[in-house]
């Protein structure tokens, strides 16, 4: 006898790939291709080989690293909080996060860099 999928699969996957794909995969238990994973939104990129995968991951990491560290951390936190608590509690949580960020040095740097038409230098403060 098989068991029902565990570890949050049935709770989280429909929010990632939608209920149509989710129900098909959950009820059939079938394997799916990398192209299927891309089409259903389970992955965001499909790379030809290991080198192109590492290159793409590096590009994305560099793009994230250009953003203010406190904003990246806060965004990750709000994503997880909203996933676990729903839309309205998530909205209240992000409002609290943003209010706490107003006096940050990075926010001031972002405004100054914009006004001076230069790239910001974030320090995570």
The answer as to whether 51 is a domain residue is no
Count of structural domains within the chain: 2
Domain of 93?
Answer: 66-125
pLDDT at residue 107, as a whole number:
85
Express the helix, strand and coil content of the chain in percent, nearest 5 each.
70, 0, 30
Cβ-based neighbours of 39, under 8 Å, separated by 6 or more: none
pLDDT of amino acid 101: 80
Mean pLDDT by 10 residues, the chain (125 residues): 78 91 93 95 95 98 94 94 92 91 86 92 87
Q: Is residue 55 part of a domain?
A: no
**Per-residue confidence (pLDDT) for residue 19, from 0 to 100:** 94
Note the pLDDT of residue 27: 93
Q: Would you call 60 helix, strand, or coil by DSSP?
A: helix
pLDDT value at residue 83:
87
Task: Examine the domain organization and report whether 120 and 70 are in the same domain.
Answer: yes
Q: How far apart are CA 15 and CA 17, in angstroms?
A: 6
Whether residue 26 sits in one domain with residue 73? no
Q: In this predicted structure, what is the pLDDT of residue 9?
A: 84
């Amino acid at each position: 006898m098989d068991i029902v999928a565990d570890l949050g699969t049935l709770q989280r996957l429909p929010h990632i790939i939608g209920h149509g794909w989710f129900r098909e995969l959950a009820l059939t238990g079938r394997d799916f291709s990398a192209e299927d994973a891309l089409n259903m939104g389970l992955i965001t990129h499909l790379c030809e080989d290991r080198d192109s995968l590492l290159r793409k991951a590096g590009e994305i990491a560099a793009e994230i690293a250009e953003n203010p560290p406190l904003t990246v951390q806060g965004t990750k936190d709000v994503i997880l909080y909203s996933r676990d608590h729903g839309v309205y509690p998530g909205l209240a949580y992000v409002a609290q996060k943003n209010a706490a960020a107003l006096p940050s040095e990075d926010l001031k740097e972002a405004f100054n860099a914009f006004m001076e038409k230069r790239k910001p230098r974030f320090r995570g403060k």
